[in-house]
Amino acid sequence: MGKIGVGIVGVGKISGIYLQNLTTIFSDKVSVVAVSDLIQERAAEAAQEYGIPEAVSVDELMASPDVEIVLNLTTPDSHFDICLRAVEAGKHVYVEKPLCIARDDATKLLRTAAEKKVRIGGAPDTFLGAGIQTSRKIIDDGWIGTPIGAAAFMMNHGHEHWHPAPEFYYKPGAGPMFDMGPYYLTALVNLLGPVKSLCGSVKKSFDERTISSEPLKGNKIQVEVPTHVVGIMNFASGVIGTIVTSFDVWSHSMPWIEVYGTEGTLRVPDPNTFGGPVLLKRFRSEEWSEIPLYYPYQENSRGLGVAEMAEAIEAGRPHRVSGELTNHILELMHGFHDAAASKGSYSVTSTCSRPEAMVSG
């Protein structure tokens, strides 16, 4: 089995872990052959540091016959344009979350990829890691009986306290749901399957935020999106789930994700990570039992989704981090906001297959 050539567009904060992992632990699956960035010096530095043959323009990367997968690590406002250029050039695409900002753009992207007979995949790939895959096995093997409910919580007080450039997180395409929701929603869909309808409530608690991190300390941010988003989901499987994402909460004691079944409760680890702990209580047990992780990839393995997609292309099978999955997650995030605006429920028009479980070992 040969290696798939990968070209990376965007050398920002998230690119380091992708570059590190794709050129080391996943180098048997992929070969990073080119890198591009609007700031050419950054691309050149990355190419030198990670032994990438070429630092090129986006046009050159798209035209390169050696690039089979375009890894799009640009900011969300550029996701659609770069992805569309890639699929129109006959390249497969893997994109950081979210798939894009607008639902119509996502539809066009998937349609164009189908016409061009290329694949789309997208982050997050954390659900392929040891923690959530072990959680998936516990559910599938019946340790909590039949799932009946789930709850997910992502709550903090925003990025202006630590991020060097936090303004983006309060603009359209971001906020707590679009920034962090993909991790939680993707984990839930992997565990429980797709969602058929939902409702939501949202609020913007602060119209203005003050940056306390360097180098922009003291600057003001005008908040343009809801920063506390609460949703209720009706899964096609019959499970009822809740999710809270917030940049307005100073502290809390809620779990990341819990799944409730007829015979017990499963506590799922942080879906923004690849490892554990995975905790289980069955029936009236008073103590949580920590379950040993049954799968590989416990450490930060970002890039695993790209490698899995490359392996699937070579094998001619569906890839787990599919465009249908990322599109479904995008619609759910919009749906919470739409339902809040209409003060009603939202019927989800997209669906996806529940990704195949990973192979242990």
Task: Map out the domains of the chain as residue ranges.
Answer: 4-122, 127-296+327-347
Distance, CA of 170 to CA of 176 (rounded, Å): 9
Write down the pLDDT at residue 50. 97
* Three-class SS state of 200: strand
Model pTM above 0.85: yes
**Section 294-310 average pLDDT:** 97
What are the tokens at 25? 């632990």
C-alpha separations of 263 from 193, 244, 278 in Å: 20, 25, 17
**4-122, CATH topology level:** Rossmann fold (3.40.50)
Chain center to CA of 14:
12
Residue 143 has pLDDT above 60, yes or no: yes
Chain center to CA of 69:
18
What are the tokens at 326? 């990322």
Beta-bridged to residue 271, according to DSSP, are none
**Section 8-13 average pLDDT:** 94
Contact 237, 193 (CB under 8 A): yes
Distance, CA of 279 to CA of 292 (rounded, Å): 9
Write down the pLDDT at residue 173. 84
Write down the pLDDT at residue 355. 96
Q: How confident is the model at residue 329 (pLDDT cuts 50, 70, 90)?
A: very high
For the chain, counts of helices (H) and of strands (E) = 9, 17
Give residue-wise pLDDT tens across range 14-40.
999 999 999 999 999 999 999 999 999
Distance, CA of 305 to CA of 190 (rounded, Å): 14
Distance, CA of 153 to CA of 51 (rounded, Å): 40
Which amino acid would we find at residue 63?
A: A
Strand 120-122, strand 92-95: pairing: parallel
Contacts (Cβ under 8 Å, ≥6 apart) of 179: 169
**Section 225-252 average pLDDT:** 98
What is the total residue count of the chain?
361
Give residue-wise pLDDT tens across range 79-108.
999 999 999 999 999 999 999 999 999 999
Write down the pLDDT at residue 102. 96
Contact 243, 230 (CB under 8 A): yes
Contact 140, 231 (CB under 8 A): no
Q: How confident is the model at residue 13 (pLDDT cuts 50, 70, 90)?
A: confident
Give residue-wise pLDDT tens across range 152-206.
999 999 999 999 889 989 998 899 999 999 999 999 999 999 999 999 999 999 9
Q: How confident is the model at residue 360 (pLDDT cuts 50, 70, 90)?
A: confident
Rounded percentage of the chain residues whose pLDDT exceeds 90: 96
Which amino acid would we find at residue 199?
A: C
What are the tokens at 134? 């072990």
Write down the pLDDT at residue 223. 97
Options 3.20.20.60, 3.30.70.660, 3.40.50.920, 3.30.360.10; CATH for 127-296+327-347 is 3.30.360.10
Helices (H), the chain: 15-22, 40-50, 58-63, 76-88, 103-116, 130-140, 175-192, 304-315, 323-342
Contact 256, 268 (CB under 8 A): yes
**Section 2-8 average pLDDT:** 93
**Burial tier of 324 (Cβ tally within 10 Å: 0-12, 13-18, 19+):** middle
Q: What is the maximum span of the chain, computed from C-alpha positions, in angstroms?
A: 62
> Mean pLDDT of all residues in the chain?
96
Distance, CA of 290 to CA of 136 (rounded, Å): 15
DSSP 322: B
Residue 1 has pLDDT above 70, yes or no: no
